[in-house]
A and B are shown apart, each in its own frame.
Chain A
Amino acid sequence: MSASLYTKRRVKNVLAMSFSLLATAIGLFFLAWILWETLSQGLAGLKPQLFTKITAYREEGGLANAMVGSLILNILGIVIATPIGVAAGAWLAEYSMRSKLGPTIRFLNDILLSAPSIVLGLFVYTIVVLPSKYLSGGDITFSGLAGGIALALIALPVIVRTTDEMLRLVPGTIREAALSLGVPQWKLTMQILVRSARSGIITGILLALARISGETAPLLFTAFGNNFMTFNPLDKMPSLPQVIYEYTKDPSPDINVLAWAGAFVLTMFVLALSLVARFVFSRSKVSHD
């Protein structure tokens, strides 16, 4: 009786352990599968013209304008989101203790972090693209600026959260030491706390950049896309993810090859960014010890 119970428990345990191994294998298998396809299909389309020609030439063209557009949009997004995000994170970590608003904002920020990006894109469409009709006195104008603002909204919660967390990791003794020397709180925050949490905050910014580099949905109705090279943020602006989206839907296999090549470039960029972010973060940990 007890022997059979023992066997039953052992069998159950072995089953559970093998299920767990299988689950891990499934996860790793899909990662390898997706990366392998992106790599093998993408390398086929990796030609010099990919980086020198623009999308207007279709099959004979490249993705140069989309890459430049993506770069501009990402820089716009990060440049808008970073000061606001760091400031909001600093407020949460240093100033919000006495108010009830602090925990609420922290909570809402976590929700914004996983809110559907397409809805945020529509929000920016309503507040930036639609009013452009009144400002320009004519048609509704999609613009790189609108795209940048949409991306900034997606980057913002990432930066707020990491800044908040990193500042709260700074030992309280540093604050006490500075305050006892008579340093005003704003100087303490800007010149001591933000500086000592610098690498953690940079990690957050890099992660936010990785996140927005792959965003497509909110750009569809803000930056809109363009087949030509443009450096003007008030013009419609192409981006890598959006060109990939359009070229994937295209029935022509030659165009699909370009989409894969673009996917390869994008994936490598995003993965490299997250690796760099991890490296910066691991260094920040060492410096705190």
Chain B
Amino acid sequence: MGVGNAATHTDKKVIRRKWKWNRNGTVLRKTKYALLGKEADQGLLFKLFIYVILIDTAYIYLNPLFFMISTMVKDASDLVDPAVNWVPRVIYLGTLQEAWVMLDYAKSFFLSTGLTLAIAASQTLLCAVAGYAFARLEFPLKTFWMFCLLLTFIVPPQLTILPMLLAASELGWINKLYPLLLPALFGHGLKGALFVIIFRQFFGTQPKDLEEAARIDGANVFKVFYKVMLPLARPAIIVVFLFSFVWNWNDSYYPGMYLINAQDVPLSLGMSKISAGIEARIAENGPTVFDEPIKMATSFLMILPPLVLYMFTQRYFVEGVERTGLVE
């Protein structure tokens, strides 16, 4: 009996110890789960790690923007004072005004907006047409044209610019806007091939049922495209339109080539002319404290419109990017 009692006693002790150990284990495991997560992507440490990376990168991306705005609104005394780093003592808008006048902002803003909207709209529509043909329709030599599309994608603009310049001058189109707009009307122009590829991929992922149903109902191919496929393609249209708008807005290469002596120029070209002028003055007379703020102010005025556009469209844009599936 005594032996049995003792055994039970020891058993109890062991059990209690085990239980204690177990409880400790649970606590340990709980802490471990809280820190590391049951799945590696749920733990606190992992979340912390992600946020550190994201915030760092977001800082990298936003830093030049902050720098631009902060430099732009500094006045002369803030600019030379090394104690004033990020936040100026007074908000001075004179630099911005000066940049406004130098850019002839009201005029070049409307020129840029009109031109870019026209280019972006026609590029979006015509690239959608071509992309639809590549994705869904039959036409002779399709493989060959697909090869040409890829070729168009990798040919640098420098290879084709000189003959186009010669052609434009033969036609008397130098300093006119036609050579900038015309390629877009045929689904080419700045990064046109990329847009065709995006549309091709998008239309390729759409189910065929809708089209077939519309065809059986007697709709012709134009009607199918216009009434069925284009409304479906809204995410792709938003993505391409925004890309096209922003890239054409910022581009100063083509305008710089075609609009050599033009009186009214788009903002991008106006900005690069101002900055070239400042460089030339620095080379002659040495730098002044106002060079940097003026450059930053012109940059700011130039990127402001696409920035505002992006703020209004970014939700659709983010959704659009995910839904287009951009590529197969």
A and B: bona fide binding partners:
no
- B binding-site residues for A, Cβ under 8 Å: none
- A binding-site residues for B, Cβ under 8 Å: none
